[in-house]
Amino acid sequence: MREWLTVGKSGTIEWAEMKRRFAWEFNGMRLHEYYFENLTPTATALDHQSQLYKKIEEDFGQYDLWEQGFKGTGGMRGIGWVILVFDVQTGRLFNAWLGEHDTGLLVDTLPLLVMDVFEHAFLPDYGLKRSEYVEAFFNVIDWKRVENRLRPV
């Protein structure tokens, strides 16, 4: 709904509820776009010469430590998203957890790698074996796409 169509309705419960739900709906849409865009059936490993690989090693010590942290975040209880983000302010990478679609988004960060950990993403194929879903996710990452999301500060 366009903002100008609701002018004068800001005192209503409906208007307030629409405002409260906006981030949930917007982020849900955008995060799914990022998620599906960073998947490919022809995955290859992240290029060790890439800027992203070097940045991961710089910020997490080793690539493997970053991967463990990302997967570990994906194994946390609850539903939401795991996102490798790039902080535009400091140039640092973080593995972030977003509860639902709208809780925990870090301001001024760019999503690089996005993994859906709502039940609908893994239950149909993996049941309660969420860790197998996370492993399978790593086999279909489009690293070229993820690399291209990293922009210089």
Q: How many residues bind Fe ion (CB under 5 A)?
A: 2
Nearer to Fe ion, 78 or 91 (CB): 78
Residues 55-94 that bind Fe ion (CB under 5 A): none
The reply to whether 138 sits near Fe ion by the rule CB under 5 A is no
Residue 63 burial by CB count (10 A; 0-12/13-18/19+): exposed, middle or buried?
middle
Two structure tokens written together for 116? 């859906």
Residue closest to Fe ion (Cβ): 116
The reply to whether 102 sits near Fe ion by the rule CB under 5 A is no
- For the four alpha carbons of 23, 147, 115 and 36, in that order, the dihedral sign comes to positive
Residues 104-133 that bind Fe ion (CB under 5 A): 116, 118
3-state secondary structure of 48: coil
- Residues of the shown chain interacting with Fe ion in the complex, contacts defined by CB under 5 A: 116, 118
